[in-house]
Chains A and B, each alone.
Chain A
Amino acid sequence: MLGNLKGLLVTFATMIRKPVTYQYPKEHKPIEDRYMGFPVLMWDEKVEEPYCTGCMVCVRYCPTQCMTAVMKDNPLHADGKSSRRKIVDTFEINLGRCIVCGICVDVCNFDAIEMSHEHELSKYARNDNRSDLGRLLEMGWAYQQETGWRPAKEKAAEEATAEAEN
């Protein structure tokens, strides 16, 4: 019967200890820096356009085929404001289908898509998880604001120059 008594003592000890749970809707667990939420599109502040060119590489390598993208000629390029010849026209991700694997981020050549910290899947309408370009950019902008994200290429270039200066 000793084991049983020991069990009672253990539960008594935990009873007088502080609970370890979070009061979820009121208080959120901090999200880790690397947390992969939904894939979102990033906004190039310098030229006021998305980084995405609609090249479809992410669409092709998506294991669940949850994305669609359409490319168009970039009007800003014609005006000479942007170096991007092509730009994304429409982009849709069905976040209900997305498995958050991050392959789209790995394959993207333009640092245009990123795994955000957004993770709320519950929506008010049946197909509300189909996010169009506007919403993806909006979420991406929020992520950019939150984390001070900069494209990896830019970062690498800066680091290289900093090193060169040293």
Chain B
Amino acid sequence: MLLDVALLVALSLTLLTALSVVVLSLVWIERKFLGRIQMRMGPMHVGPFGLLQPVADAIKLMAKEDLLSSWVDRVIYWVAPLVVFVPVLMIWVTIPVARDLVIRNLDLGLFYIIAFSVLSIVGLVAAGWASSNKYAVLGGFRAAAQLVSYEIPLILAVLGVAMLAQSMNLVQVVNEQNVWVYALIQPLGLVIFFIAGLAELGRTPFDIHPAESEVVGGPFVEYSGAHWSVFFLAEYINTFAIAALTVLLYFGGWLFPGLPGDVPIISLAVFLAKTYLVILVIFWIRGTYPRLRIDQLMSLGWKVLVPLAFVNILMTGAYLFYGWPAWVLSLLSVAVLAATVWGLSKAMRTAPRPEVTVRIYNPTSEAGHAG
């Protein structure tokens, strides 16, 4: 019993340390990658290639004065970062990084992860509310609306995977993918999961709640120093978690054709490589797109993703029930996806070409032509 507890504590501490290192690496990668996208160098001065920049940032954040405006609701204000951070950490209890490298291999792992990830919404709303700042309140409400709505497609997408794998155990889910990864069988599910995951993270183009140019950082506007960095930590761990889940659920986790799936080191390396690739895609999207508006975000969630997720479940159910070969489901998925993209483009009146409403007018030559 005592040994068990000690082991658990040791594992948790290892996890926390590992995650902190991951966050530091993510910060560095994000800054470097965005820098390259924007033709900049990114951090260059602290350490070789600016590798120590995130460490310097962390030290700065810790050493910074923690400002507190006099009319905040103190209890909620101090608790909010923890309410965001703890659930984010808790889901890592059951996320496996290799076949045998997992703290607790729960049979209801997926269920557990989803149950916990919903909790952090409370923290964001509380942070917004307690700051007694109008921008923070707006941001908090935005966060509530956005995160609650995107939980649903996320859960439904995960459900599709659980149906395919006939299990909610993540190790089981990965092991089931040793022939065909689910990204190939269920591309529709992948797209839904990835988009909903981006929205859950509050990353561009769904960064509605911290929107810098609108609500000035949203719920975090009044936070500074260490407390702000807890939010920051939570956000990056969350990013990593969503990327890891994408890899586990759709890209076969630590499995790679030709590599042994039971050597922990190789498995870990494969898993990390895949996860970082997904993260790079997240950063790539961040560097490219503007942000959606709150109503567009909501309609995308409720009118597009939720119905699609149901279609996905129905298709998977039919596939399982009739025992079709896997490629039928893939084809169906792709077809639905294509139809959605076409319909969306149509609905946004941008297909086949966006309307160009600007033309060149030349009164002297009288030959106006389309721009």
Contact = CB atoms under 8 A, between A and B. Distances in A.
Determine direct contact between A and B, CB below 8 Å.
yes
Interface of A: 1-4, 7-8, 10-12, 14-21, 23
8 contacts: A1-B341, A8-B285, A15-B284, A16-B36, A19-B36, A19-B39, A19-B40, A20-B39
A16 B288 CA distance: 15
A33 to B, nearest CB: 27
A1 B41 contact: no
Contacts, number: 43
Interface of B: 33, 35-41, 44, 284-285, 287-289, 341, 344-345, 350-351, 354
Nearest to A22: B41
A19 B35 contact: yes
A8 B284 contact: yes
Contacts of B35: 19
Given A1-B345, A15-B33, A21 B40 contact: yes
A21 B289 CA distance: 22
A3 B354 contact: yes
- Smallest CB-CB A-B distances: 3 pairs: A11-B288, A15-B36, A11-B37
B300 to A, nearest CB: 12
B344 A11 contact: no
Contacts of B44: 23
A17 B341 contact: no
Given A1-B345, A3-B354, A14 B39 contact: yes
A12 B39 contact: no
B189 to A, nearest CB: 18
Contact of A14 (B37, B350, B354): B37
A7 B344 contact: no
A20 B41 CA distance: 8
B39 A23 contact: no
Contacts of B284: 8, 11-12, 15
Nearest to A25: B45
A-side binding surface: helix, strand, loop or mixed? helix
A7 B287 CA distance: 10
Contacts of B33: 15
B344 A23 contact: no
A32 B270 CA distance: 52
B282 to A, nearest CB: 12
Nearest to B35: A19
Contacts of B351: 2
Given A1-B341, A1-B345, A19-B41, A8 B288 contact: yes
Contacts of A1: 341, 344-345
Given A7-B288, A19-B41, A2 B345 contact: yes
A19 B44 CA distance: 13
Contacts of A3: 350, 354
Given A11-B284, A19-B36, A19-B41, 14 more contacts: A1-B341, A1-B344, A2-B345, A2-B350, A4-B289, A7-B289, A8-B288, A10-B288, A11-B37, A11-B287, A11-B288, A12-B284, A15-B284, A16-B36
A17 B288 contact: no
A21 B35 CA distance: 10
A11 B283 CA distance: 11
Contacts of A4: 288-289
Contacts of A23: 41, 44
B346 to A, nearest CB: 11
A30 to B, nearest CB: 19
A161 B72 CA distance: 80
A47 to B, nearest CB: 48
Nearest to A20: B39
A2 B33 CA distance: 23
A88 B37 CA distance: 55
Nearest to B38: A14
Chain B CB within 10 Å, residue with most, of A4, A14, A15? A15
Contacts of A7: 288-289
A19 B285 CA distance: 19
A2 B350 CA distance: 9
A64 to B, nearest CB: 35
B354 A15 contact: no
Chain B CB within 10 Å, residue with most, of A1, A7, A10? A1
B198 to A, nearest CB: 13
